[in-house]
Structure 1
Amino acid sequence: MTGCCEYISSSKRGLTKEIEILVPWGIIAGKVLGDSTNPPVLCIHGWLDNCNTFDNLIPMLPKDNFFVFIDLPGHGLSSHLPPGMFYSKDHYVFVVDQIANYFSWATFNLLGHSLGGIISVFYAGTFPEKVDKTICLDGVVYVNEYIDGLDKPDVQWLKGRIQYYNTLNKKKPKKTTYDKLRQRLLDRNFGLKSVEIADALLERGCKKMEDGYVFRHDIRQSTNSFIDVSYNTGLQFVSNIKAESLVIHGHDGVMQRSVPKELRSFVSSSLEQSFRHSEFYQGVVVQGGHYLHLDAPERIISLLTSFLNRPIRSGLRLELPISKL
């Protein structure tokens, strides 16, 4: 593989259709799958990824839903924010609402991986009446700050963000060969080991210049700029969710990397307790890493299908294995 355009994506195989949604700062790019009259599912990728993260799931997804896969602002083929703007949870919640308004969805479902799962929690906790079902793949709320005993106040966060942004004027994207860019992607993302998967993400995630390749993502995304709340605050958003919720953790995923072994049971119990207002909650641990939906989609597709197909607010329990972190 010598160029990022050589990867044959699902959209190029005709399974999905490319879309562009106009927003005040430019466009949100993405793909759609299925009949738009079916129950909608908005699919949100992880940090520094793009909507191709769902490509291996696409051929397996249930046919009686309408799936919308987006590139978040500053990722993939979507527009970057104007200079001087911050990427934050507030903006991502606004983006989700813009998309819901674009499609005129009264209610809809959310499927998010990693950062996408965190955004799904923030949105469903902000607008509980608008979300029927929420699926989080190896990402619910950020835990490092809580584990470290830090409830970072807004003032500290804002000062650090402004200082970081002020240094960006001196930085420019580093051009390199496609192979080296791919290796940088593999080195950066823990659990991402497959060259084929890296190529899938780079199809929308890199750009060819005259003298090399660069990542497409906004350089302002190079830090965890979306992490502007503490773990405890994140749980408050979770506790406000009324949507039926399915949380799938990879056995070797982000929770296992972020949470000391002796605290995993506590964190798992905290999450389950925080979902107490949800119409339904199921937490499952599946063999796999952070990119379990790309590495082994067959391990989770039955869970996704069963959850999406179950009647809304039926009160019925899913026949799923329950595991502790």
Structure 2
Amino acid sequence: MSTAYDARRPHRSEFLTLRGLRHHVMRWGPPPDGSRPLLVMLHGWMDVGASFQFMVDAFREDRSVLAMDWRGFGLTDSSGGDAYWFPDYLGDLDALLDAVSPDAPVDLLGHSMGGNIVMTYAGVRPQRLRKLINLEGFGLPETIPEMAPARLAEWLDELKQPQHLKTYDDLGGVVDRLMKTNPRLAPDKAAWLAPHWSQRRDDGRWHILGDPAHKRTNPVLYRRAEALACWSRIEAPTLWVEGSETNISQWWGNRYPREDFETRLSVVPQLQRVTLQQAGHMLHHDQPDALAREVQAFLG
């Protein structure tokens, strides 16, 4: 296995009880002192807060940064149920900001699923943000009411079946999995991330730190109009960042045309856009230095 990446700015782990669940929080830099907002970063599906380490290391200067593991990911408690609901992520984020920055707006960054969450939150709680950064949180393809019966039936069927995530003989297997999922991830970064993304358990095997219940079909339809109603209410200056190699058809085929997404993004009132070259969906792994430069320039 490759030598692990040497983190320039090691994180500090904390645990906060939010809405009855023990949430894992990572902090970098000095405590917030009021001179600049706390930067809160939120990861995507099947990822962890530690995933932002490479970008934090690339910042030119120390600032107060926090990343949280969403419920059911990393070292945060699972929901305790057999399904996950999007509004719970908003509730957890609201509780997090109440705990870590109750009296001051934050700078808020989200990747992928986390990007979708922060966009909705920014429209619902505009006063809680100074600036907003969305790293490839595209939203989902539009659904129609006629899809509900089949979706609900699929969910009910899946509730009867245990969900599993693949386990690995050793940490090297986890490293290989990370690099297979994202061939642009450098071996040293994969070796560093693997023990944050997985855990050796009593059976001697390495388990991915994600609740398998996340794999179940979401029975709630995605309503584009509701998402846009929130996006259009965003007051914070917003930075949209995507990778030059990202192609949304790889996930949804022709169900989500690029022009549909462009229409959605057009409702965001104060929008700046950046495309990172030689980067795919995992921008913070592929081009952490370039991403850090763009984020710092935007935040000021």
Q: Structure 1 length normalisation: TM-score?
A: 0.78
Per-residue CA distance 1:177-214 (angstroms, 9 max, x = gap): 13334434444x45654333333332222111333211
Structure 1 position 237 matched with structure 2 position 230: yes
1:222: Cα distance to partner? Answer: 2.4
Aligned partner of residue 300 in structure 1, secondary structure: helix
Aligned with 1:96: secondary structure?
helix
- Call closer, same or farther: CA 1:212–1:15 in 2, change over 3 Å: closer
Q: Report the 3-state secondary structure (helix = DSSP H, G, I; strand = E; otherwise coil) of the residue aligned with 1:72.
A: coil
Q: Structure 1 residue aligned with 2:173, among 161, 180, 185?
A: 180
CA deviations on 1:83-118 (whole Å, 9 max, x unpaired) are: 34x322200000100100111244212111111111
Find out whether 1:215 has 2:208 as its counterpart.
yes
2:159 to 161, 165, 169: 165
2:289 corresponds to 1:294: no
Q: CA deviation at 1:240?
A: 1.9
Equivalent residue in structure 2 for 1:80, among 65, 78, 81: 78
Aligned-CA RMSD value: 3.0
**Which one of 72, 75, 93 corresponds to residue 96 of structure 1?**
93
User: Cα distance 1:164–1:211, how it changes in 2: closer, same or farther (>3 A)?
Assistant: same
The one-letter code of the counterpart of 2:238 is S
Q: Identity percentage over the alignment?
A: 20
The match for 2:129 is 131
User: 1:64: Cα distance to partner?
Assistant: 6.5
Equivalent residue number for residue 69 of structure 1 = 67
- Give the residue type in structure 2 aligned to 1:293: H
Checking the alignment, whether the CA contact within 8 Å between 2:169 and 2:205 is kept in structure 1 is: yes
C-alpha contact 1:112 1:118 (8 A) present in aligned 2: yes
The equivalent of 1:313 in structure 2 is none
- Aligned partner (choices 39, 42, 61) of residue 40 of structure 2: 42
Residue 273 of structure 1: how far off its partner (Å): 2.0
Aligned residue number for residue 274 of structure 2? 284
What TM-score, normalized to structure 2? 0.84
Q: Displacement of 1:167 after TM fit?
A: 1.6
Larger mean Cα displacement after TM superposition, 124-133 or 248-257: 248-257
Map 1:230-269 to 2 at 5 A. Answer: 230-253=223-246, 255=248, 257=250, 258=252, 263-264=257-258, 266-267=259-260, 269=262
Deviation track 1:33-66 (CA, whole Å, cap 9, x = no partner) reads: 2232241111001110101211111122354642
CA distance in 1, matches of 2:257, 2:124: 28
For the residues of structure 1 that align with 2:234 and 2:214, how far apart are their CA atoms?
Answer: 27
Point out the more displaced range, 16-25 or 55-64: 55-64
Matches of 1:33 and 1:226 in 2, distance apart?
Answer: 37
Aligned partner (choices 110, 114, 117) of residue 119 of structure 1:
117
- Read off the aligned partner of 1:51 and give its amino acid letter: G
* Distance change >3 Å, CA 176–CA 294, structure 1 → 2: closer
* More displaced stretch, 100-109 vs 60-69: 60-69
User: Following TM superposition, by how much is the alpha carbon of 1:227 offset from its aligned partner in structure 2, in angstroms?
Assistant: 7.5
Gaps of 5+ in 1: 310-325
Whichever residue aligns with residue 298 of structure 2, its letter is F
1:77 deviation in Å? 0.9
Counterpart Cα distance in 2 of 1:88 and 1:256: 25
Distance in 2, matches of 1:51 and 1:247, equals 20
What is the DSSP-based 3-state SS (H/G/I as helix, E as strand, rest coil) of the residue aligned with 2:139? coil
Hey, what does 1:33 align to over in structure 2?
Answer: 28
Q: How does 1:295-310 map to 2 (within 5 A)?
A: 295-309=286-300
Gaps spanning 5+ residues in structure 2: where? none
Q: Output the CA distance in 1 between the equivalents of 2:6 and 2:153.
A: 41
What CA distance in whole angstroms lies between the structure 2 residues aligned with 1:295 and 1:161?
34
Q: Residue 9 and residue 161 in structure 1: after superposition, are their counterparts in 2 closer, same or farther (change >3 A)? A: farther
**CA distance in 2 between partners of 1:226 and 1:185 (Å):** 29
The alignment partner of 1:27 has SS state of: strand
- Farther-moved stretch of structure 1 (132-141 vs 172-181): 172-181
Structure 1 residues 63 and 226: CA distance shift in structure 2, 3 A: farther
Counterpart of 2:24, as a letter, is A
